[in-house]
């Protein structure tokens, strides 16, 4: 797997308590970045910050609450002086249910996390990034943003909306030095895939665990997307399912 130099950068990562978020935090820190770990799992991000060391700051955050995200941006600036990277990774898929029976409150909570949470991150990070004239905002997307899956209406709708937020951000602020991109990683061996497997609904739940890529692969992709080598994808989405992208990043089965 390729590595990239992120020395001197400060990266904020939502959903950093496990899965892709935790792997990205470890990768970014190894590559020289300061990392701000944001998640509801207070104990988990505290343990990860202890593992990483002085480069890491753990800030408990519920991304559905804008003021908490805004406060995390302030904490990052207080600790490290700037904000260079935001990874909008926090996500939820349950409830997995048909539209005729799904709990409306649960459906809305997925929208709050996957869509409003992404907007909250963008909105909170933009003033500092625009003031310094640069910043990278990456959002974890999904094939479900473009292709509906049975019983995933909230997840599909929220990911489609987040993909459009990325395009909107590029349109509005790309010329001001804000690098906005999405990463569609494919299926990743995380807790979410366990929830999908348990549902038994749609073809994705029928995949074997060995069909999923490790979370370290998206972490490599996110690291690369923070560099100028990925500028051809600004405003767009990088698909980690593509063999040519995997080869470019030194990833292989």
Catalytic positions: 155
Query: Are the CB atoms for 16 and 25 separated by under 8 Å?
Result: yes
The angle subtended at Cα 162 by Cα 158 and Cα 167, nearest 5°, is 150
Per DSSP, the residues of the chain read ------TT-EEEEETTTSHHHHHHHHHHHHTT-EEEEEES-HHHHHHHHHHH-TTEEEEE--TT-HHHHHHHHHHHHHHHS---EEEE----------TTTS-HHHHHHHHIIIIIHHHHHHHHHHHHHHHHT-EEEEEE--GGGTS--TT-HHHHHHHHHHHHHHHHHHHHHGGGTEEEEEEE--SBSSHHHHHHHHHT-TGGGGS-GGGSBPTHHHHHHHHHHTSGGGGGGTTSEEETTSHHHHHHTT---
């Amino acid at each position: 797997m390729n590595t990239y130099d992120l020395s001197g950068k400060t990266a904020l990562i939502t959903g950093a308590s496990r899965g892709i978020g935790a792997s990205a935090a470890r990768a970014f820190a190894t590559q020289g970045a300061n990392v701000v770990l944001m998640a509801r799992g207070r104990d988990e991000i505290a343990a990860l910050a202890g593992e990483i060391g002085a480069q890491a700051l753990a800030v408990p955050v519920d991304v559905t609450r804008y003021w908490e995200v805004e406060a995390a941006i302030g904490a990052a600036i207080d600790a490290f002086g700037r904000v260079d990277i935001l990874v909008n990774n926090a996500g939820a898929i349950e409830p997995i249910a048909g539209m005729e029976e799904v709990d409306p409150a649960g459906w809305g909570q997925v929208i709050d996390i996957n869509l409003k949470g992404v907007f909250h991150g963008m909105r909170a990070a933009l003033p500092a990034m625009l003031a310094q004239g640069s910043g990278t905002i990456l959002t974890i997307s999904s094939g479900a943003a473009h292709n509906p899956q049975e019983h995933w209406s909230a997840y599909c709708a929220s990911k489609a909306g987040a993909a459009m937020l990325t395009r909107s951000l590029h349109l509005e602020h790309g010329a001001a030095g804000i690098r906005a991109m999405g990463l569609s990683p494919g299926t990743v061996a995380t807790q979410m895939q366990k929830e999908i497997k348990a549902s038994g609904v749609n073809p994705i739940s029928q995949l074997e665990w060995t069909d999923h890529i490790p979370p370290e692969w998206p972490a490599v992709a996110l690291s690369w997307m923070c560099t100028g080598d990925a500028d051809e994808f600004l405003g767009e989405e990088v698909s980690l399912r593509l063999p040519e992208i995997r080869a470019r990043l030194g990833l292989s089965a």
